[in-house]
Amino acid sequence: MDRDLGSFPRPVLTALSAAERLLTRRAGATVVLADPEDLGGSGRSVVARARVARNPFSLPRSLVVKQYLEEPAPDRPDPFRSEVASCQLFTALPVEVRHSPVIIAHDPQSRLLVLEDLGRSSTLADKLFGPDPTAAQQCLLGWARGLGRMQAATAAREHDFGALLRRLGERSWRDPMAEQARNALAAVPDLLAEELGVKVPQAAAQEAHETARLLGGTRYRAFSPSDTCPDNNLVTSRGVRFVDFEWGCFRDVALDAAYFRVPFPACAASFALPAGMADALLGAWRAEIAAVWPDLDEPELLEARLLHAQLLWVWLCTWWLLPRIEDRDMPIGPDATRSPRISTALCHYWSEAADAAERAGFRASAELGRAVVEALQERFPDAPASLPVFPAFRAAP
């Protein structure tokens, strides 16, 4: 690697040096990486692209390197192992149903992954915040189709995923959302009472607790990246590709399909979709999963599961977000221009859930949703009561 890089971030250089050593060991000859490009990552990891300057092996011209900076908490599963197992699972699939980058090498000692470079692709977030509503719509539909294809391709592979995790030293792995969702179901009634003065009727609590069935071993389980915020979906020449599998797991497919009705819940980029878009996304997704789960093509069954998933997400988002506005209402994410206020997001989530619950005959949940919206509007009268659509659709004719 070119060492004359001035003030280039040291964690990135450390990751690329570790990648050089790993690839050199594998190739049996020196591999040199050059022209690093910092791709961001998170506080837990660094991600960088590099050109393969010396290539004694049949490596691609460029690679992506990801290194985890911290050791996992002793009482929690290791996200590094989850990402490796997830990428290994997809790498073994035929290319037409592979929706992640291929894993080229990994090193548990340095907590490093070397991955296929999917190119300088834009993200779904770029399209949703861009100027072209047609491009945004096409990418959303591609994302819904890709999600369905990924779920259909992995429907019978949960045991394979478990075996990959065990080989990496992970004894078990559950949906990281499941424990938090159960905590939310237990805590939200007190939280709503304390923060908003809203009493949760017993019937509404019971209807909410019924949604926990989605968290168990249902017949409709498939792989989920868990974190499918718009920034983690790349728009490539082969369609939308999913990246970042730190929390990859198997769970009920309705929990991800509910994103069509609660778009990217609690993500920084959590805005509304134009009228009719949720139904279009659902149709694109159903077309991909129908061959695997034909009974989900029955409207009544699917609607019931989607409503449960929608309610579960709303309770979970309330548990995540409501405590944050105890002192000050603020945007969900750090950039106020790309993120709605917490109170607005919660108003929107509860309002949409109330409408869906009313249509399904869940009257207690519908009444609770309207009460929460009223309380939020009373406490934050200057905040919009409903999320605007994503910026790409605001200029649409």
Mean pLDDT in order along the chain per 10 residues (397 residues)? 56 93 90 90 85 82 93 82 96 90 95 94 94 96 96 96 94 84 97 97 97 94 91 89 92 96 90 96 97 95 97 97 89 90 96 97 98 97 93 78
Which pLDDT value is given to residue 176?
A: 82
> Are 109 and 127 within one domain?
no
What does DSSP say about strands 62-68 and 45-54: parallel, antiparallel, or unpaired?
antiparallel
Predicted local confidence at residue 6, as pLDDT: 47
Total residue length of the chain: 397
Q: Which of 116, 151, 166 is the last residue of a domain?
A: 116
Per-residue pLDDT at 395: 67
Residues 136 and 274 in one domain: yes
In a 13 Å sphere around the CA of 87, the CA atoms on its Cβ side amount to 22
Token pair in block for residue 251 = 């769970």
Whether residue 92 sits in one domain with residue 17:
yes
Q: Residue 248 in contact with residue 223, Cβ under 8 Å? A: yes
- DSSP state, 262? S
- pLDDT of 3: 47
Residues 161, 98 within the same domain: no
Please tell me the total count of domains within the chain: 2
**pTM given for the model:** 0.93
Contacts of 309 (CB under 8 A, 6+ apart): 211, 214, 252, 254, 255, 257, 258
CB 66 within 8 A of CB 142: no
Same domain, 315 and 175: yes
Tokens for 258?
């509910």
Q: Is residue 1 in a domain?
A: no
Q: Is 64 exposed, middle or buried (0-12, 13-18, 19+ CB in 10 A)?
A: buried
Q: Which residues make Cβ contacts (< 8 Å) with residue 56, sequence separation at least 6? A: 27, 28, 29, 30, 31
Based on the domain organization, do 132 and 48 belong to the same domain? no
Residue in the block written with tokens 């690697």: 1
Boundary (domain end) residue, out of 89, 116, 143: 116
Give CA angle at 95 (94, 100), nearest 5°: 110
Give the structural domain span for 53.
10-116
Indicate whether 79 and 138 sit together in one domain.
no
Question: Are 132 and 103 in the same domain?
Answer: no
